Amino acid sequence: MEVNVPNFLPKGRLHPINIFLRKSVIFFQKYGFEIVEGPEIDTEYYNFDALNIPRYHPARDMQDTFWLKDGRLLRTHTSTMQVRSMQNRKPPVRIIVPGKCFRHEATDASHETNFYQLEGFAIDSNLKISHLTSILNKFMKELFGPEVSTRFRPGYFAFVEPGIEMDIKLENEWQEILGAGMIHPNVLKNMKISPKKYTGFAFGMGMDRLMMLYYGINDIRLSYSGDLRFLKQF
């Protein structure tokens, strides 16, 4: 036996996006949300059609979506799991879908071709938009402290009606954080759920952007650089 060999090995570290994603998931689990995962390669139906996104929508263009030769695509959002996950479930449900997404866009300090998103949705017999804004406010206060200011603005997303966007105020500047809204009746119908009997809300947030604000990182490309000097800070 070699007595001079050190009795420890260098320890690995979780990537900061994984640390932040776990923190976010734990929050929603406390409020009864079930974790669901789905395929990164999906069909046009689940990525667009099932979500009420029309064929003329620019997101379907080759310039914005990575299409495969067989007609499938790299999912552009984790919203693909809204209809897919309800194929073997019945309301009431609370679901979150963490995962990687892909969009064909130029890389800069705030954009990458692949990124992480946290999708969440709930369906029940009497959900209102106030339930949605309440859970989102609680989440932001969990991340950025009880004194953080938030606001909601009208927004358009094909799969919700009405749609809203959420901002938080950091260092006296408003930062756009996420999109959300009440699940569109057409999407509920695609889930085989009656919009006359049930309502639902949905939200989707970019984990990379939130992580950057949380840790004070100013360039998203650092997350994917593999630079140990950056990773060892977490």
Task: Please report, for residues 31, 150, 155, the alpha-carbon distance to residue 189 in angstroms, rounded to integers and kept in the order given.
Answer: 26, 32, 22
53-67, 71-85, 123-137: the lowest-pLDDT one: 53-67
Question: What's the whole-number mean pLDDT along residues 68-90?
Answer: 95
User: How many domains in the chain?
Assistant: 1
4-8, 186-190, 191-195: the lowest-pLDDT one: 4-8
Question: What percent of the chain has pLDDT above 70?
Answer: 93
Q: Establish whether the linkage from the previous residue to 54 is cis, with ω within 30° of 0.
A: no
CB 207 within 8 A of CB 117: yes
Q: Is the pLDDT of residue 1 over 90?
A: no
Q: Is the pLDDT of residue 177 over 90?
A: yes
Give the domain CATH number at 126: 3.30.930.10
Q: Evaluate whether residue 5 is within a structural domain.
A: no
Q: Looking at residue 113, what is its pLDDT?
A: 86
Q: Evaluate whether residue 1 is within a structural domain.
A: no
Q: Looking at residue 13, what is its pLDDT?
A: 77
The domain containing residue 151 runs over which residues?
16-232
Q: Looking at residue 9, what is its pLDDT?
A: 64
Q: Evaluate whether residue 7 is within a structural domain.
A: no
Q: Evaluate whether residue 38 is within a structural domain.
A: yes
H helix intervals, the chain: 16-30, 44-47, 81-85, 129-144, 185-190, 207-215, 228-231
What's the pLDDT band for 111 if we cut at 50, 70, 90? confident
Q: Evaluate whether residue 116 is within a structural domain.
A: yes
User: Which residues are CB-contacts of 221 (< 8 A; sequence separation ≥ 6)?
Assistant: 107, 108, 109, 112
Provide the angle, in degrees to the nearest 10, between the axes of the packed helices 129-144 and 16-30: 130
Q: Looking at residue 63, what is its pLDDT?
A: 62
Q: Evaluate whether residue 87 is within a structural domain.
A: yes
- Tokens 């593999």 locate to 226
Which residue has better confidence, 110 or 141?
A: 141
Q: Evaluate whether residue 209 is within a structural domain.
A: yes
pLDDT tens, 74-83? 999 999 999 9
Q: Evaluate whether residue 10 is within a structural domain.
A: no
